[in-house]
Structure 1
Amino acid sequence: MDISSSPLWSAQQILDHPETIIGTHLAFLRAGARIILTSTYQASGETFRRAGYSDSEAKDTMLKAVTLANDARTAFVVESSSDTSVKIALSLGPFGASLSPTQEFDGFYPPPYGPMGSSDSGPLTNTFDEGDVDSEQASIFALAQFHLERLLVFARDPEAWSKVDIIAFETVPLIREVKGIRLAMHSLENTVVREGLALQMKPWWVGFVLPEGKCPELRFPGGLGMTVDDLVSAAFAWKPSGGGDAVPTPTGIGINCTSPKVISGLVRQMSTAVEQVSGSRSLESGKKPWLVLYPNGGDVYDTITRSWIVASKDERELWAVDLKDTIVEASKNCAWGGVVVGGCCRAGPELIRRLDDELKHAAM
């Protein structure tokens, strides 16, 4: 089923083919998955408006995605006749996923979210001029507001919120967006108190995207790129300027929608960076974060042509084996409180089944 022609991407199927969403969730659960992601990755007020839907229709559709995931979970528990624990993760893509063409791999965001969104005024860049602190701060707050608005759609609906177990911020390309997400989670906590919402906060993770093994954000236009150390620091050590309340840190961090070829090296870098942050006592209450890994299935998506460059048969055959080896190594590292592993784009149920088999026989 081709979803590339819709600005809503997978969310379009919530409207057109809800039974397909349930069936897809069930296929992954039957393959061994125990966390399923809602089909809300690209869902936001802006993407729905661009597709011709009202804000009310957008809200109803986003909430329906949670219901569909829960329907699949319920059906699986019944058919498996077991006490299997299945978690629902609320999928929230980056601001770049709401743009057309999407910008989650490059992070070329328009003002106020970034320096520019088109090449009309010069070469594209995803970072502000060195020393432009005001624009940097404004973009962080704008990104925080973008993420907060989506979070509140679910938080203000007690039934939907009760069905969600985890919040998954996915495919985040920029350091300042990580900071914006942390501010959004802080604002969510404050809103819950201010509005008297009877709900509990959820564990949450941030999945970074590192095309070709590199952070897409530059330190300044034309400069060197940010590093894994910078990503980890933004997730755990960064504090908003001007003081004030501390902002929450994620329960887990990791990598998604990235080539499996570069995952192993990136995990080693991330493990070292987390150990350094732990040594500086930047982690909340000394808690170790979870490592969250779900690389793509080896195929590469061309955002311009909206088509896939298919991986070789050998690459797909080794996907589960290589990922298992990475997980075994990471699980022995004292930096992490645990590991969540799976697959992102083009990692279908068959690859998940292979990964499940590999992990069952792994020495961990």
Structure 2
Amino acid sequence: MKSQENIKYPLILDGGMSNVLESLGCNLDHPLWSAYLIVEDPDMIVKAHLAYLNAGAKCITTSSYQATLEGFERIGLTRTESKAMMLRSVELALKARNIFLDGSSQNKTIYLAASIGPYGAFLADGSEYKGRYDVTDEKLKEFHTEKMRILEETAVDFMAFETIPSLREVKILNQIIADCKKPCWISFSCSNEHSLNDGNSIIDAVKSISSNKKLFALGINCTAPRYISDIIKNILPFIQDKKLIIYPNSGEIYLPETKSWKGISDPVTFQKMASEWLSSGVDIIGGCCRIGPEHISRLNFLTS
């Protein structure tokens, strides 16, 4: 594991996993979404990681966003096999990093972040876009703790708690992150410049967790780009000594009923907006849903 103290900022993240997999011909119409390929076609995961590394990403996120023990068990895997699939998500990222570094003539540092999505991702019904779950606090804490315990024992550098849509889930994660063995970041998903997806204040969410010593970064992901500049202005005074992380989606609208996207993604516009965000104080930058390698490659023009 590399120390986050040695990171050269701004740090460029990768983009969305699912859009690259779909471009490679993968069918993601499955309750486990892209995590299904950890089981069925792991080489495609490696190819997706490599697409971002070749585009200039310095930190790639594991394919474990929607990977859970319960989810794998639902498709017939045993508990032991399910845990092995969770660990495989890290192995695939490591494999991609090794392939990339072996083919590079330069001495590069590539970081790995273990993706831990919200409880709503496990439900696979679009709940992460609402942040309202019919589940107890105890169940939420058990869900996240179990996944964290498995992934924190791997060779990842960071734990990425991402697309968190509700203040309730943030407060529960604050307890869990305090006991994590690895440096963590948390990123919230917002419905506008003021609110998390559940309607609570983004400022309240930041205030509730910004003093956590295990967090080295916090910010926003899977949020429409048009809201990002105002969100940065709203939360920057409250992030204390943390790094500010931003990786929005493309601004397209996801339709859970058809599992499709509505709208257009433009890398040139993304680059212009990213330039503004970096000028506003963003330390870690990348993309989420529908942000691809072409978008990430343009970030290198801004950070070189």
**Same fold by TM-score greater than 0.5:** yes
1:271 to 221, 225, 236: 236
Question: 1:250 & 1:303 partners in 2: Cα distance?
Answer: 32
Change (3 A) 1:168 1:3: farther
Question: 1:111 & 1:298 partners in 2: Cα distance?
Answer: 29
2:256 to 303, 310, 313: 303
Residue 150 of structure 2 is aligned to residue 153 of structure 1 = yes
Instruction: Give the secondary structure class of the aligned counterpart of 2:244.
Output: strand
- Is the 2:167–2:196 Cα contact (8 Å) retained in structure 1? no
Residue equivalent to 2:69: 45
Question: 2:177 & 2:102 partners in 1: Cα distance?
Answer: 34
Alignment of 1:240-255 (within 5 A): 248-255=213-220
Residue equivalent to 1:258: 223
Residue equivalent to 2:113: 89
Q: Provide the TM-score with structure 1 as the length reference.
A: 0.73
1:111 offset after TM fit, Å?
2.6
What letter matches 1:173 in structure 2?
Answer: P
Residue equivalent to 1:222: none
Change (3 A) 1:187 1:181: same
Question: 1:45 & 1:86 partners in 2: Cα distance?
Answer: 28
- Is the 2:114–2:151 Cα contact (8 Å) retained in structure 1? no
1:321 to 253, 272, 275: 272
1:227 offset after TM fit, Å?
1.4
What letter matches 2:303 in structure 1?
Answer: L
- Is the 1:89–1:168 Cα contact (8 Å) retained in structure 2? yes
1:300 offset after TM fit, Å?
2.1
Q: Percent identity?
A: 35
- Is the 2:248–2:287 Cα contact (8 Å) retained in structure 1? yes
Residue 289 of structure 2 is aligned to residue 345 of structure 1 = yes
Alignment of 1:54-69 (within 5 A): 54-69=78-93
Question: 2:33 & 2:175 partners in 1: Cα distance?
Answer: 27
Higher relative contact order (CA 8 A, sep 6+): 2
May I ask how many residue pairs the two structures share in their alignment?
A: 280
2:301 to 349, 353, 357: 357
Residue equivalent to 1:179: 171
Question: 2:39 & 2:194 partners in 1: Cα distance?
Answer: 36
Residue equivalent to 1:118: none
Question: 1:98 & 1:14 partners in 2: Cα distance?
Answer: 15
Alignment of 1:199-210 (within 5 A): 201-210=181-190
Q: Provide the TM-score with structure 2 as the length reference.
A: 0.86
What letter matches 2:242 in structure 1?
Answer: P
Alignment of 1:100-119 (within 5 A): 100-112=124-136
Question: 2:41 & 2:258 partners in 1: Cα distance?
Answer: 25
Change (3 A) 1:71 1:249: closer
Residue 200 of structure 2 is aligned to residue 226 of structure 1 = yes
Instruction: Give the secondary structure class of the aligned counterpart of 1:80.
Output: coil
Structure 2 unmatched runs, 5+: 1-21
Q: Deviations over 1:11-50 (max 9, x none)?
A: 1111121111111111101111000000000011222222
Structure 1 unmatched runs, 5+: 113-138, 189-200, 219-224, 238-246, 279-287, 332-338
- How well do the aligned residues superpose, as a CA RMSD in angstroms? 1.8
Change (3 A) 1:347 1:100: closer
Q: Deviations over 1:121-150 (max 9, x none)?
A: xxxxxxxxxxxxxxxxxx2x4322211101
- Is the 2:113–2:158 Cα contact (8 Å) retained in structure 1? yes
Question: 1:171 & 1:11 partners in 2: Cα distance?
Answer: 16
Q: Deviations over 1:204-258 (max 9, x none)?
A: 100100023342465xxxxxx3212101111135xxxxxxxxx655211110011
What letter matches 1:309 in structure 2?
Answer: K
Residue equivalent to 2:244: 291
- Is the 1:40–1:92 Cα contact (8 Å) retained in structure 2? yes
What letter matches 1:172 in structure 2?
Answer: I
- Is the 1:298–1:316 Cα contact (8 Å) retained in structure 2? no
